[in-house]
Structure 1
């Protein structure tokens, strides 16, 4: 038997194993019965390779994660060296050098002063930790009724029961109800779906921010603990903050003694050209949640970063935060994160994003000549394309058309045409999300535009 035959047999066995035994995340399990499950076998730079050897441009950085690109030897070597030295030890009343050094670095790079870092293994756990910390903070400061959270419609903040209660996607929650009580929703900043404000973005931003104060007052300021907001909202398709929005939100939170949480699980570590996107958008939160790009995906880690105000009552005698994760602050992950942050700094990837974000935007905007493309929006290396049935009226698709596009056609067609990105149906609006590795440049932008143009032309034809 030749090596090619052995390789083909192995690929077939892997595909069968995936179909029969792998419970894929956010996926319909019957899809493997209808068509082969895509199998990514290796990656290098900005490209993925499947079991058939096809080269596919990674237009989503895996899952908004692989900032520095695939196949970075120095990150693999950092993991191997740390595993040989100390593969595991918890941070439950003890510390390891990588965890201590990473906490110091994140604390110094986050805005505000006196920052402390609580490590998790991912973003949902960081959000869960932030809500628990906010509740305990107010109990320790004599306001025990403050426990509720305000977040935005369509926003995704994670899948644990608490984080899911903060998430603003009803379809994602219905199968797991009842959830943790206390989550409440306000409008998001999707200007495309608020044409009544026209180009008056400042008025729209103030209107959207004032809905947060309205919700706080309706629930009772003595019961609201925190407002959770992404700098650029992911779910629904890259809703950027209007001018003045976060300044107004910060004023509202201060007025009513409510903690402002910046959920930067996607937005941190260069996605918007800064270590933390709140710096770019001009606000100082009380808590930051982050994960994904911290290690460029080479090892799992997440974090909750709290400022001096929030940590103060936890420093009092005999106070503890009765919360933790076995693998939070894992020494291998912490070592990889330090190496990744060094790499981002050494290669100037934050500045690269700032220098090229307008080029990326201009390239994507060429797609607006297609009838199916209604809006292009985003910031940095984080963009969304909203698809519409009728461009003039901004009418979205029927449920049957959304099913055809999002679940039956676009994912497979984009892969077949050489691009990995994401099609999503959130609240009836169909969007394609793009977040390429930060090492991408104009050549990759052009390739993304060309593949999408071909794929969306096909989509128009089938509709």
Structure 2
């Protein structure tokens, strides 16, 4: 090994605090150092190639090594490297906001840029609370989300997150968040044999939660189109249509958290489009730049912007009670922002990214190949350790079980020994970068770049088969 590699290893162990990392695991092992990417593959410091089965972290939609995106960043940095959006604007942010509004469903025409997904979720919750305060419903501040759902790590987003073990060491968090059942039909407590009835039941639990808390206190419901944590739970038929009805009935805002699901992951620009529902806000990030620069956004309906838009824009002020108009007038301000939100370089990269989406028909490619991806992964159902294969688009979870007939899951010890001690490490050793996760039941998640095709699907399936077959013998 070279001296440079040895130095990098030691420096990583001495100085780099990696995210969500058990640092003790590298006491006697090397830190994986990724140095290069090309297409659907990444390469480590020793030259070994891995199939990027997770698109980095649900991010690298167009794959690695896209020089056009790097050049777009360089050109913008030469012209205007930085200026905030605090009372000023710059062309790439304006143009990108217009572009995104054109893609977004319905009247979601207002785009608030952030640095990433957690900030987008924070923004959506703050807007929900602020909107109801300035429109005469100041008690509406609570948020409902689903069990085992991940919405971010900042204090507010973590409060909305439904993963107790992720939250305990940071409590007390922001109060006023409440959980309802998710759409994991594989482990449905009721109606597991009837997706439509199960979906209606799961949606109705949101109405129960709103009633329990008091409709005049609930501001928003945060839901992912396909729930990530727990292993890719798609919505049952009719689920989101019923949720929309409930939100309308109780005047609660429906926030579609699409940090993962937007920008082609499900074959559409937005996941809400795939499942045919109209949210009041969308939160997004990750694939907006294919990872070539950090950027996120909260996209809001015109209605939510009205109290903050000024008199010239209040063409539809019937939404705002007269008292609220008089009190706040045209001076109401959404007092919120981020230094790097809508960064010129990031927004320029996002514009180029979306241009390539259109030129290369990326959404059409995902929709035309998603059936083959599903069918390839479903071959693994012949393995006794594979209980369920679920997802949509290019976003799948493979749930591992101890007993296929009874759906018995792993014990904590088995998760530690098999999922993390063997499967996760061995998949990487065999050349597949993906995710082993036990937030909920043990799963392997796959979310490859949107440029992948059958050769990549086959490669994933072959490596998974080798490793999972060995893992079963360890039970």
Take 1:458 and 1:403, find their aligned partners in 2: how far apart are those partners?
A: 16
Q: Is this contact kept in 2: 1:268–1:290, CA < 8 A?
A: yes
What is the Cα deviation at residue 200 of structure 1? Answer: 1.3
Mapped pair 1:102 → 2:115: no
Kindly state the Cα deviation for residue 195 of structure 1 after the two structures are TM-superposed: 6.7
The Cα of 1:44 is off from its aligned counterpart by 0.2
Q: Are residue 386 (structure 1) and residue 405 (structure 2) matched?
A: no
Task: Provide the aligned C-alpha RMSD in A.
Answer: 0.9
Partner in structure 2 of residue 448 of structure 1:
460
* TM-superposed deviation, 1:461: 2.0
Partner of residue 306, structure 2 = 312
What is the CA–CA distance in structure 2 between the aligned matches of 1:331 and 1:312, rounded to whole Å? 26
Correspondence 1:39-438 to 2 at 5 A = 39-113=33-107, 115-194=109-188, 196-316=190-310, 317-427=330-440, 429-438=441-450
CA shift for structure 1 position 112:
1.4
Deviation, 1:406, is: 3.1
What residue is the counterpart of 2:319 in the other structure?
none
Kept in 2: contact 1:114–1:308 (CA 8 A) = yes
Assess if the C-alpha contact under 8 Å between 1:65 and 1:292 holds in 2.
yes
Partner of 1:12: 6
Contact residue 161 and residue 180 of structure 1 kept, 8 A: yes
Separation of aligned partners in 1, 2:168 and 2:192: 35
- Per-residue deviation, residues 69-102 of structure 1 (Å, max 9, x unmatched): 0000100000000000000000000001000100
3-state DSSP of counterpart to 2:42: strand
SS in 2 for 1:71: coil
CA displacement at 1:290 relative to structure 2:
0.2
Contact residue 190 and residue 198 of structure 2 kept, 8 A: no
> C-alpha displacement at 1:411, in angstroms?
2.1
CA–CA distance in 2 between the matches of 1:36 and 1:151? 39
Q: What's the CA shift for 1:315?
A: 1.5
SS class of match (2:136): coil
What do residues 238-271 of structure 1 show as CA deviations (whole Å, max 9, x unaligned)?
0000000000000000000000000000000000
Q: Could you say what secondary structure the match of 2:406 adopts?
A: coil
Displacement of 1:11 in angstroms is 1.4
Conserved 8 A contact 2:260-2:284 = yes
Q: Secondary structure at the match of 2:442?
A: strand
Tell me the SS of whatever aligns to 2:27.
helix
SS in 2 for 1:222: helix
Q: Could you state the TM-score of these two structures normalised by the residue count of structure 1?
A: 0.97
Q: How many aligned positions are there?
A: 456
Which string of whole-angstrom CA distances, capped at 9 and with x for unpartnered residues, describes residues 274-321 of structure 1?
111101100010000000000000000000000011111122400111
Q: Which has the larger displacement, 194-203 or 75-84?
A: 194-203
**Counterpart Cα distance in 2 of 1:220 and 1:168:** 21
Kept in 2, the 8 Å contact 1:31–1:37? The answer is no
Structure 2 unaligned runs (5+)? Answer: 311-329
CA distance in 2, matches of 1:43, 1:140: 48
Return 18-27 or 60-69, whichever deviates more.
Answer: 18-27
Mark the CA change 1:33 to 1:221 in structure 2 (over 3 Å): closer, same or farther.
Answer: same
CA distance in 2, matches of 1:220, 1:406: 42
- Superposed CA offset, 1:306-352 (max 9, x none): 00111111224001111111100000000000000001111011011
Cα distance in 1 between the residues matched to 2:34 and 2:474: 28
Does structure 1 conserve the Cα–Cα contact (< 8 Å) formed by 2:231 and 2:396?
yes
Distance 2:424 2:35 in 1: 18
Q: What displacement does 1:17 show?
A: 1.0
